[in-house]
Amino acid sequence: MFRLSDHTGDFAVEAEAPTPEAALGELVRALVVLMLGEDESLRSDVSITRALDGFDAEDLVVNFGNELLFLFETERFLPSSLIVDRLQLEPPHAHLEARLFGERLDRDRPLARPAKAVTHHEATFDVSPERTRVRLVIDL
Amino acid sequence: MSRQDRKKKQKKIAKEEAREALRAAVPHAQRPWRSPVPLEPIDEVRWRIPKQGAMRTHGVVYADESLLPDLQADASLEQVANVATLPGIVGPSMAMPDIHWGYGFPIGGVAAFHLDEGVVSPGGVGYDINCGVRLLASDVDVEGARLAGTSKGLERTRKLVDDLFEAIPSGVGERSDERIGGEVLRGLLEGGLPFARSLGWATEHDVAHVEERGVIRGASADAVSSRARMRGGPQLGTLGSGNHFAEIGVVDRVFDEDAARAFGLRLGQITLMIHSGSRGLGHQVCVDAITEMLRAAAKYEIPLVDRQLCCAPVRSAEGQDYLAAMAAAANFAFVNRQLMTNLARDVFARRLGAELRTVYDVCHNIAKIEEHLVDGASKELLVHRKGATRALPKDHPLVPEAYRDVGQPVIIPGDMGRYSFVLKGDSRSAETFGSACHGAGRLLSRGEAKRRFERFDVTKVLEDRGVIVRGASKETIVEEMPQAYKDVADVVDVVARGGIASKVVRIRPIGCVKG
C-alpha cells in the first residue's frame, strides 16, 4: 500500500509492503499516482531494464526514484510495475537490477502533478522481517 | 596490469573507501536543535535562534509576530539551525519572512561561506538552479489596452492569456519547438545571455537589466553531464511546472514615485512577470552533484545532520566542479527566461500592438561569489540563496546604471489572486548579504490545498475576481490557490520594516499562465 503525505512545498510518498521488492513496486505506483492522478491507468507494453547503485538502502531508493523521473523526462516513460531481478541493501554496496514495465506517454496526455526530483531529505527505507517501509520527499 | 587498469582500480578503491567513510560519517551527525526550536526576539522583525549543539553560529529569522505561528508549524526553523552546522559559515544562518519547510536548506534560506574554510552545498541552491523571475513593462495601460473593467475587457484578457498559453510551452518535460545544436548549447551554458545576444536572441537592454548581466562566471559546459543535457537541452524556452508562471498584471499602486519612474513603471501600466528556471538540465545537475557531494562530505569528514545538506569545501575539486556546472545551469536559466520573453513579445505585439521592456531579472536559487562587508572589511564570500532574492542598495556597482541612484529592483511575486510587489534594495540589506525574500511563501501544503479547494471550480473563482488563469494541470491550479500562500503584503512589510528593501509599486494580476 502507499499514500501521498503532506510536506509544505512539495509531497512525500510513503510505501509499505511485506518485502523490499514489493515496497519498490508500491513506490512505483505512488509516483505514478503523484504524477498522473488517482484515476489514470497505464499500459505495460514497454519494458526497460535498469541497474542502479547506492551506498546504502536510502541512497539506492533515492537514486531509483530519480532514475524514474529521468526516464519520464527523456523518454516520457512511466512504469506501472516492476520485476526486481537483484536487490542488495547492505551498505556500502546497495544495488538494484529491475525490469520496469509501463508506457511511453503521448506528449498531449495531461499530467496531474509533475515532479522535479527525489530528495535525500528524510529519505527512509526501513526493512524488518515483516514489513518494509519507504518514504521519500519529492521536489515538485 | 596496464597503467590505465591500475588507474581504474585505484579509482574503484577510492570510491569504495569514500562509501565506507560515508556510512560512518552520516549517522554520527547530531541534530543541533531541541524541539521546539527556541526563538529570542532581537527587534520587531528579527528573531535569533541561539547557537546550540553542533551549530557553528546562531540563526536569524526575519518575521513579525503575525508570521511566527505559521513558520513554527513545520520543520523550517530546524532547517535554519541545521544550515548553521556547516563548516565555514560566516555570520548567521538566515531565513527571510517567506520561509517554509524545504529539504536540506529551508526555502527562504540565506547562508554565506568563507572561500577558504567554507563549503558549497547543492542543497543550498536546490534542484531548480537559478529559478528566478523577470519583470517586463509594456508601453500600454490597462485602459488603453481595454483589458479590464467590462466583460469585453475580460474577453480580451482571455485571448491574450490563451495566446501566451499557446506560445509558451509549459508542464514538466515539455519540449521547445526550438532545436539547438551542441555547440550553441555549449555557448549558452558558458556564455549565458551575452552569448544569446550574439545570436540575436536578446538586446543589449535585456542583458544590462539582468542580475550579473545574465552570465555567472566560471561556468563550464564540460561540467554538465550528458544526462543533464539530454534531459534539459530540449526544454530551453519552456515554462516548466509547479509554481512557475507567466502572469499579466497591472500596476495598481505606486509607493515611491521617483523609484517607479527610474524603473519605468507607472500606475495602470500592463506588465508581464515570468517565473521559471533551468528546467530538467538544472534538476539533473543537482541530482548528479548530490551523488558526488555525499561522497565528498565523507571524504572531507563533514558530518551531516541531513543528507540533503551534503557539501564539499569551496576550493576542493568537487566544490569547483559543482560551481562550474551550477553556473552553466544558471546561464541556461537566464536564456530560458529570455526565450520566453521573446515569445511573449510576439504575442503582445500581435494582440495589443505593445512592446515589452525588461525591467529586471533576478535569481532565486543560486550560490555566487560576492563581495560583502564582514567586520567592517570587504570580503569575497560564497552566498547561497535558496528561495531568496539579491537586493542591493543604491550606489552599488552591480546595480544597472539606470537604477544606481535608486537601488536594485527586487521583484517579489505574490499569489495569482492578490498582488505582487516591486521593491528597491536598501542599505540594511548588508546585514543579509544583500538578500531579501523571494515571494509569499507557502502557507498550506499542496495536499491540504487540494483537500480544501478541489471541490471548487478554481478557474471560475479566480475569473470572478478578474483573473483569467490557464494551466497545464488542473491539480496544479488548485494547489496554487491564493489561500495556499501567505499574504505577500505581510512578507514584504517585514522586509521593508527591516530596512532590507522598500516598496516601489504593487502589481495586481489579471491573467496567468501556470506551468
Q: State how far residue A31 is from chain B, nearest Cα, in angstroms.
A: 14
Query: From residue B335, how far is each of A12, B132, B221, B238, B355 by CA, in Å?
Result: 32, 12, 15, 11, 19
Could you tell me how far CA B114 lies from the centroid of its own chain? 22
Complex ipTM more than 0.90, yes or no: yes
Best residue in A73, A109, A122, A135 for a mutation probing chain B (most B CBs within 10 Å): A73
Residue A24 banded pLDDT, cuts 50, 70, 90: very high
Q: Which residues of A touch B283 (CB under 8 A)?
A: 69, 116-117
Q: What is d(CA B347, CA B240) in angstroms, rounded to the nearest whole number? A: 19
Structural domain contains residue B68:
no
Best B20, B107, B172 member to test A by mutation, with max A CBs in 10 Å, is B172
- CB contacts < 8 A, A to B, total 126
Q: Which three cell numbers stand for residue B193?
A: 545571455
Chain B nearest-CA distance from A61, in A, is 13
Please give the residue of chain B at the shortest CA–CA distance from A118.
Answer: B287
Residue B92 lies in a domain: no
Q: How far apart are CA B186 and CA B191, in angstroms?
A: 8
Candidates A72, A73, A121; nearest CB to B308: A121
Tell me, what's the pLDDT at B28?
A: 46
| Contact between A92 and B22 using a beta-carbon 8 Å cutoff | yes
SS3 track for B297-334: HHHCCCCCCCHHHCCEECCCHHHHHHHHHHHHHHHHHH
Contact A35, A49 (CB under 8 A): no
Find how far residue B70's CA is from the centre of its chain.
Answer: 21
Helices marked H in B199-247: 204-208, 226-232
At which residue does the C-alpha cell 536598501 appear? Answer: B426
Closest to B384 measured CA to CA, from B77, B60, B95, B33: B95
Tell me whether residues A120 and B307 touch, CB distance under 8 A: yes
* Cα nearest neighbour of A56 on chain B: B23
Higher per-residue pLDDT: B150 or A85 = A85
Q: Tell how strand B59-62 and strand B89-103 pair up.
A: parallel
- Is B308's CB within 8 Å of A66's CB? no
* Residue pLDDT tens, chain B, 515 long: 676 677 666 666 655 555 555 554 454 456 666 668 999 999 999 999 999 999 999 999 999 999 998 888 888 999 999 999 999 999 999 999 999 988 899 999 999 999 999 999 999 999 999 999 999 999 999 988 888 778 889 999 999 999 999 999 886 556 666 667 789 999 999 999 999 999 999 999 999 999 999 999 999 999 999 999 999 999 999 999 888 999 999 999 999 999 999 999 999 999 999 999 999 999 999 999 999 999 999 999 999 999 999 999 999 999 999 999 999 999 999 999 999 999 999 999 999 999 999 999 999 999 999 999 999 999 999 999 999 999 999 999 999 999 999 999 999 999 999 999 999 999 999 999 999 999 998 888 888 888 888 888 889 999 999 999 998 788 888 888 888 889 999 999 999 999 999 999 999 999 999 98
Question: Which pLDDT does position B428 carry in this prediction?
Answer: 96
DSSP 8-state class, residue B116: T
- The chain A residue lying nearest B445, using CA atoms, is A8
Collect all residues of chain A within an 8 Å Cβ-Cβ radius of residue B364: none
Q: Do B290 and A120 touch (CB under 8 A)?
A: yes
Catalytic residue among B100, B283, B364, B438: B438
Q: Which helix (H) or strand (E) holds B362?
A: strand B356-363
Q: Which residues of A touch B231 (CB under 8 A)?
A: 70, 73-74
Partner-chain contact A66 B448, CB within 8 Å = no
Pairing of strands B59-62, B46-49: antiparallel
pLDDT at residue B118, as a whole number: 98
Looking at the structure of chain B, the number of domains it has is 1
Nearest CA to CA, how far is A7 from chain B (Å)?
6
Residue B117 lies in a domain: no
Whole domain around residue B346: which residue ranges?
132-514
Of B173, B446, B472, the CB nearest to A73: B173
The answer to whether B135 and B226 have CB atoms below 8 angstroms apart is: no
Picking from A20, A24, A39, the residue whose alpha carbon sits closest to that of residue A118 is A24
Classify the phi-psi angles of B489: left when phi > 0, otherwise alpha if psi is within -120 to 50, otherwise beta.
alpha
CATH classification at residue B258 = 3.90.1860.10
Give the residue extent of every domain in chain A.
2-139
What stretches of B64-173 adopt beta strand conformation (E)? Answer: 89-103, 105-114, 119-120, 132-141
Q: Please check whether residue B19 is in contact with residue B294, taking contact to mean a CB–CB distance below 8 angstroms.
A: no
- Ramachandran assignment for B128, one of left (phi > 0), alpha (psi -120 to 50 degrees), beta (any other): beta
Of the options 3.55.10.10, 3.40.50.300, 3.20.19.10, 3.30.870.10, the CATH number for the domain spanning A2-139: 3.55.10.10
Minimal CA separation from B2 to chain A, in Å: 26
Three-class secondary structure of residue A117 per DSSP: strand
3-state helix, strand, coil in chain B (%, to 5): 40, 25, 35
Closest residue, chain B, to A10 (C-alpha): B446
CA B421, distance to chain mean position in Å, is: 16
Of A8, A10, A37, the CB nearest to B475: A37
